[in-house]
Amino acid sequence: MKAIIPTGGRGTRMQPLTFSANKHFIPVANKPLIFYPIETVVSAGIKEVGITYNPGYLDQVQSILGNGEKWGAKFTYIIQEKPAGLANIVEVAEEFVNGDYFLLHLGDNIFADGIQELVAYFNNEKPEGLVPMVHHKENTRLGVPYFDDNGRLVKYVEKPQNPPHDFAIPGLYFFSPLIFQSFKGEDRIKPSERGELEISAPYQWLLDHNYRVDVLEYKGKWLDPGKFNDWIEANQYLLDKKLEEKMEGEIDEGSRLENRVGIGQGSRIINSEIRGPVAIGKNVRIENSFIGPFTSISDNCEIEGSRVENSVLMNGVKILNVKHPIDRSLVGADSEIKNGEEHTRTMSLFVGEKCQIQI
């Protein structure tokens, strides 16, 4: 069995940060978002992974992901010439799939408890398609499965206005190689009104041709950090549930650490309080500061005379002598925030790369 993980997409819901950064490489709990799907499929026993990319981005994607050796996998890079929909990602990967069963795991979804059960079911039962589903209170913004009176899947509708239940389809899709027939011939699937091949279309093609499509509930934790608030909440959850405590940096006698804290190599904590869960990357300097729970600080950051909590700081961020507590913020790489006129209110920041802010 093989896996496809896309790295394309415009990431419009995370602008302005994604004007200069690929959403898939923005960190969540100090790890690039796309690392989570890779780890998930590899943990499920899938070692051959197709990574799709858009024109002009191959070097960037390869420089971050490499050939898969880091995860004990083999990566094949597949170009998607234009953003023509999720089903088009499947279509352009036909040569890579080469007659095998496969799954498509979106590069911006996190299945925090693994997908081993789903993969085992698909491998054992071998339906032509498998639709995972989750309970979701906002399923009107996702795909929704519809069932007949016998509980059999009859259609898959994108973003319905009045769904009959609270089930939704997350960013994980399973197919047999038969699915490539849906892109060919007179009855091939057609683009939607927005001009894209929706991922619901190949499933509907299977149903319309009386092929077997099964549905299985995913009962683990699913995270979809597609918007700012979702990103902060995903960071909270992963730090709370998955953070591994480590002490690879230097902590002086004037500093105090509470709860779980991970500190990377070359980092220095000076006269500061760190209250976990907190993830601190490599070569970070924190001095005369308070770092509160649910904060992830990427490599090469510098925090001095400031208070930060419940936030995500990307690589190279500087926060210098800011008197306002920084809370629930996402700060882009190489940005600098430093003190200006004093106020008493807290701040909430959503900052793109290479910004400089005076407060």
pLDDT score of 303: 98
Q: What would the two tokens of residue 155 be? A: 């259609």
pLDDT in tens, 170-203: 999 999 999 999 999 999 999 998 889 999 999 9
Assess whether pLDDT exceeds 60 at residue 52.
yes
Q: Of 9-18, 225-234, 315-324, 342-351, where does mean pLDDT reach its minimum?
A: 9-18
> Can you spell out the DSSP letters for 49-95?
EEEEE-TT-HHHHHHHHTTSGGGT-EEEEEE-SS---HHHHHHHTHH
pLDDT score of 358: 60
pLDDT score of 141: 85
pLDDT score of 34: 95
Helix, strand or coil for residue 156?
strand
Assess whether pLDDT exceeds 80 at residue 287.
yes
Assess whether pLDDT exceeds 90 at residue 346.
no
Task: Categorize the per-residue pLDDT at 276 as very low, low, confident or very high, splitting at 50, 70 and 90.
Answer: very high
pLDDT score of 62: 95
- The structural domains of the chain, ordered by start, are 2-236 (3.90.550.10), 243-358 (2.160.10.10)
Q: Of 7-21, 239-253, 270-284, where does mean pLDDT reach its minimum?
A: 7-21
pLDDT in tens, 324-343: 899 999 988 888 998 865 55
pLDDT score of 80: 94
Distances (CA, A) of 225 to 46, 88, 109, 213: 24, 23, 7, 28
- The overall average pLDDT reported for the chain is 91
* pLDDT greater at residue 126 or residue 13: 126
Q: To which H or E segment does residue 31 belong?
A: strand 31-32
Assess whether pLDDT exceeds 90 at residue 150.
no
- Span 141-158, mean pLDDT? 88
pLDDT score of 21: 62
Q: Of 9-23, 112-126, 139-153, where does mean pLDDT reach its minimum?
A: 9-23
Q: Is 144 exposed, middle or buried (0-12, 13-18, 19+ CB in 10 A)?
A: buried
- Span 117-146, mean pLDDT? 94
Q: What would the two tokens of residue 118 be? A: 């789903």
pLDDT score of 229: 85
Count Cβ neighbours within 10 Å for each residue of 274-294 and write b for 16 or more, e otherwise: bbbbbbbbbbbbbbebbbbbb
CA dihedral sign, ordered 28, 31, 33, 39: negative
Assess whether pLDDT exceeds 80 at residue 130.
yes
- Span 225-236, mean pLDDT? 88
- Span 143-148, mean pLDDT? 90
Q: What is the percent of the chain with per-residue pLDDT over 70, rounded to a whole number?
A: 91
Q: To which H or E segment does residue 122 belong?
A: helix 116-125
pLDDT score of 348: 66
Tell me which long-range contacts 228-236 makes (C-beta under 8 A, separation of at least 24).
Answer: 228/14, 228/330, 228/350, 231/14, 231/26, 231/28, 231/312, 231/330, 232/310, 232/311, 232/312, 232/328, 232/330, 234/28, 234/29, 234/110, 235/28, 235/29, 235/294, 235/296, 235/312, 236/294, 236/310
pLDDT score of 349: 66
